[in-house]
Amino acid sequence: PKEVFLKDYKKPDYLFESVDLKFQLGEDKTIVSSNIAVYPREEGASSPLVLNGSDLKLLSIKVDGKDLKMSEDYKLDLRHLTLVSPPNGAFKLEIVTEIDPIHNTSLEGLYKSSGVFCTQCEAEGFRKITFYQDRPDVMAKYTCRIEANKEKYPVLLSNGNLIERGDLEDGQHYALWEDPYKKPSYLFALVAGQLESRDDSFVTCSGRKVALRIWTPAQDVPKTGHAMYSLKAAMKWDEEVFGLEYDLDLFNIVAVPDFNMGAMENKSLNIFNSKLVLASPETASDGDYASILGVIGHEYFHNWTGNRVTCRDWFQLSLKEGLTVFRDQEFSSDMGCRPVKRIADVSKLRNYQFPQDAGPMAHPVRPHSYIKMDNFYTVTVYEKGAEVVRMYKTLLGATGFRKGMDLYFQRHDGQAVTCEDFYAAMCNANGADLANFLQWYSQAGTPCVKVVSSYNAEAKTFTLKFSQEVPPTPGQPVKEPMFIPVAVGLLDSTGKDMPLSSLYSNGVQKTISSGEPVYTTVLHFNKKEEEFVFSNIPERPVPSLLRGYSAPIRLDSDLIDADLFFLLAHDSDEFNRWEAGQLLSRKLMLSLVSDFQQQKPLALNPSFVDGIRSILSNTTLDKEFISKAITLPGEGEIMDMMPVADPDAVHAVRIFIRKELALQLKQELLAAVTNNRSPGPYVFDHENMARRALKNTALVYLATLNEPDLTQLVLSEYKSASNMTEQFAAMAALAQNPGQVCDEVLADFYNKWQHDYLVVNKWFALQAMSDAPGNVENVRKLLNHPAFDMRNPNKVYSLIGGFCGSPVNFHAKDGSGYKFLGEVVVQLDKINPQVASRMVSAFSRWKRYDEDRQALAKAQLEMIVSANGLSENVYEIASKSLA
């Protein structure tokens, strides 16, 4: 397989002015005609024109109306069509191809999902539709004519405006769409099928009325209300926060059940995985509602960050994805509860991105190379990329950040640009010098920062001494220091923030505040080692470091347990309050893991129980915050901190602590259940979600005790639940204890919901994640369940993905979990390489485990790499994991 390198980037020799496409959609084959106006980027150029193409049958090719001859005029191989010597100057290129969407199970290019034709072109799917320069820096204006049977495909959609429609002979009809904005091929979209829409409208800040339509099969239209609410909220938010207005008179969203990722931001025709559109209180959980809000926002926000200003090449992916994730995080924060959202985002980063950054697939936010671009839609590009954007805001302030965004759009609207262009806009708009900040784009690995504090009572100074280390990652053995913004506050002995007046670092005295008191300041730590001295500090403070998690780093401080309990009780920065609790939990879990490994009896520190008790009974705290603060760090996070990951020990310790807490805090947990029952019908707002979150967390704790009266309590919550959030949480609580009750509830749930594939996926996932010994056999059986289908990515993510996310069974000592995944990956790769490569990633951390497990996992990876006809997608992940 060929590796592509960022350093080899070259501008295209030819550009496309316009593209007129015609699709004749058939039950058997589809014919695609394309008519491209080509011109050389520089006058007089006469190099060959290389077009990408994959799985295409070429029917004809003409230049300026004249048929071309194979070998003489053009060459064809499995991936390219090359025009040997195109005319000098501008010319028309007409190409007709035949494609087979019905048998396209890769869900890339044009395919059929439940009878609906739809497309997925990002990253390189357009080349499965027609021969084209399939790269984001080739931007053109498109028209798209769709012809299809009117009865089977009454709705015909593409990008832009509908300019003509009508009937044809033989029961066919057509629609002609025109997109007035230049776009790269990855934003092209087409949909044809039997769909109905929920219609609404939005009046933009300049008074234009935009028609909004969400398309689904007729029976699902009632479940699109929340998606429409989310879309309108996102449109308003982008106007208010960034001054960005929607630029067409129509915005369509289509929901399809078969989709490799969450959604796709095609210009004015977003295509969504149904699970991120359809919701009703009975069938969707609070988590689903929140995801829909965030992803509808995310795809809508791409209209400016991604579509109007796009990426020069795929290495720049984080330019649009990191920025758009940051924007959707901010949107969800503003619509809900900021600290709770921040906690959720940081947990995701720690649980998924940190392990990636420490493993064989570690790559910078802007990767240097790839074999298959699809493999680089990663938590590093998305989530760490969003943290990089957040750091600009932390360093420049809200107003400075907005100035930078304004300049970015002013300079680059309609262009395909790079991460340096974004950096330059941020710096230039603020006259700022962010020195080595660009390292965040090119160096992989999570920086480890150490901080030591000291107080000088005589001088009344408080000193923080920082040092940093960026660990080596594949291909990057030695690292430069990073620019790390550290937001700091200092607490006095009553727990109040001290006003910060001045700071000394690098031989320079800086005034923090001479007027209004300032309680948090951002230190610019960009050297290997650096000292910051606060003056006018009247007593020894407890520092609150990295407030709001101001940089994506691992912080190792000299805070002692007493400081952490103090911060947990008093910090005005709610994120750091939660963080203090997590630090205590992590320390406790690691020390109990060591006891467990040495076969010592496990015992819980009473002050830890008291800390949790005081959080649980604090009536002034946000309830969702409480729910998060009493939840222990995930098993993956703890394993990540061990020299050799021990899934059995970590699992046993987590279960032990949860049971012990449940036992000692039973009364408080029971009160959390009874005080937080639904007062009425389901409402999606923060207050109600927070109440449900606390009640559900309390139920999960109580159910760990497996006592008959508590089981009855949870069972009655399951039976009386009037929404999916509470019904599913009660079932999950009961599922912790395999046995008759658990089996009965699982059967009851399936009977109730077998008609709803999205709910059935939750049922698959819950069983897949079970820690019951030997659960692999149950999961194998579920592969043959009539509701399971390997061709549907959501089902694979629920059952196979769920299984791999459960450490005890996936990492079973006998290798049964690894063997199962190995078999599935080989089978799945033949159906859908993108989904198969996501699954094979579960093996990537195999070197973190003991020798026996390493040998078992390695054998599976070797078996996969040597499988016949393996896709490049799976090859890239499996071979890099083995390296």
Q: Does 283 bind ligand HT7 (CB under 6 A)?
A: no
Nearer to Zn ion, 305 or 453 (CB): 305
Q: In the complex with Zn ion, which residue's Cβ is closer, 298 or 762?
A: 298
**For residues 580 and 574, is the Cβ–Cβ distance under 8 A?**
no
Number of CB atoms found within 10 A of residue 270's CB: 25
72 is catalytic: no
717 near ligand HT7, judged by CB under 6 A = no
Specify whether the CB–CB gap between 878 and 833 falls below 8 A: no
User: Which C-beta is closer to Zn ion: that of 138 or that of 187?
Assistant: 187
> Which of Zn ion, ligand HT7, none interacts with 377 (beta carbon under 5 to 8 A by kind)?
ligand HT7
| One-letter identity of residue 803 | F
- Cα–Cα nearest to 673, from 720, 607, 738, 736: 720
Binds ligand HT7 by CB under 6 A, chosen from 20, 94, 286, 321: 321
> To the nearest 10°, the Cα dihedral for 370, 372, 373, 377?
-100
Residue 313 interacting with ligand HT7 (CB under 6 A)? no
Phi, psi dihedral angles at 552 (to 5 degrees): -80, 75
What whole-number distance in Å separates Cα of residue 458 and Cα of residue 461? 8
Neighbour-count burial of 70, counting CB atoms closer than 10 A to its CB (0-12 exposed, 13-18 middle, 19+ buried): exposed
Q: Out of 298, 312, 393, 577, which residue is the one contacting ligand HT7 (CB under 6 A)?
A: 298
Is residue 832 a contact point for ligand HT7 (CB under 6 A)?
A: no
Q: For the purposes of burial, counting CB atoms within 10 Å of the CB of 80, is it exposed (0-12), middle (13-18) or buried (19 or more)?
A: middle
Choose the binding region for ligand HT7 from 118-126, 471-479, 790-798, 865-873 (rule: CB under 6 A). 118-126
The 619-648 contact track toward ligand HT7, x by CB under 6 A, reads ------------------------------
Separation between Cα atoms, residue 249 and residue 231, nearest integer Å = 15
Does 377 participate in binding ligand HT7 (rule CB under 6 A)?
yes
Residue 524 CA to residue 250 CA, distance in Å, equals: 45
Instruction: Give the CA radius of gyration of the chain.
Output: 28
Closest by CA position to 825, among listed 812, 806, 844: 844
Q: Which two tokens stand for residue 486?
A: 């550290």
Least CB distance from residue 262 to ligand HT7, whole Å? 6
Cβ nearer to ligand HT7, comparing 302 with 524:
302
Q: Return the structure tokens found at 226.
A: 């929340």
Q: What are phi and psi of 630, to 5 degrees?
A: -95, 0
Q: Does 213 bind ligand HT7 (CB under 6 A)?
A: no
Query: Judged by CB, which is closer to ligand HT7: 260, or 521?
Result: 260
* Adjacent-strand bridge partners of 692: none
Structure tokens that stand for 256 in this block: 């399809």
Does 383 help bind ligand HT7 (rule: CB under 6 A)? no
Q: What single DSSP character describes residue 707?
A: -
Min CB(295)–Zn ion separation in Å: 9
- The encoded tokens of residue 438 equal 């660009």
Q: How far is the CB of 587 from Zn ion (least distance, A)?
A: 36
Pick the piece of the chain touching ligand HT7 (CB under 6 A) from 89-97, 294-302, 400-408, 613-621: 294-302
Q: Tell me if 264 contacts ligand HT7 by CB under 6 A.
A: yes
- Active-site residue (options: 94, 122, 124, 299): 299
- Is the Cβ of residue 198 or residue 372 nearer to ligand HT7 in the bound state? 372
744-752 long-range CB contacts below 8 Å, 24 or more apart?
Answer: 745/715, 745/718
Identify which of residues 34 and 324 has a Cβ nearer to Zn ion in the complex: 324
Residues 742-771 that bind ligand HT7 (CB under 6 A): none
29 C-beta neighbours (distance < 10 Å), count: 13
Residue given tokens 């690995």 in the structure block: 445
Tell whether residue 812 is a contact of ligand HT7 (CB under 6 A): no
Binder among 94, 147, 299, 328 for ligand HT7 (CB under 6 A): 299
Q: Give me the least distance between CB of 855 and ligand HT7, in Å please.
A: 33
Residues that contact ligand HT7, how many (by CB under 6 A) = 15
| Least gap, CB of 305 to Zn ion (angstroms) | 9
Answer yes or no whether residue 265 interacts with ligand HT7 by CB under 6 A: yes
Q: What is the dihedral of CA 720, 785, 262, 335, to 10 degrees?
A: 10
Helix axis angle for 606-616 and 647-664, nearest 10°, is 60
Residue 122 contacts ligand HT7 per CB under 6 A = yes
Q: Is 871 in the site for ligand HT7 (CB under 6 A)?
A: no
From residue 320 to residue 339, the character string flagging contacts with Zn ion as x (rule: CB under 5 A) and all else as - is -x--x---------------
Select from 189, 310, 304 the least CA-distant residue to 235: 304
Q: Note whether 837 and 876 are within 8 A (CB).
A: yes
Nearer to Zn ion among residue 321 and residue 668 (C-beta): 321
What is the nearest approach in angstroms of ligand HT7 to the Cβ of residue 323? 11
Interface region with Zn ion, contact rule CB under 5 A, candidates 315-323, 436-444, 478-486, 676-684:
315-323
Evaluate whether 337 touches 691 at the Cβ level (below 8 Å). Answer: no
Interacting residues with Zn ion (CB under 5 A): 321, 324
Which chain residues interact with ligand HT7 by CB under 6 A?
A: 120, 122-123, 260-261, 263-265, 298-299, 302, 321, 374, 377, 834
- Catalytic machinery residues: 299
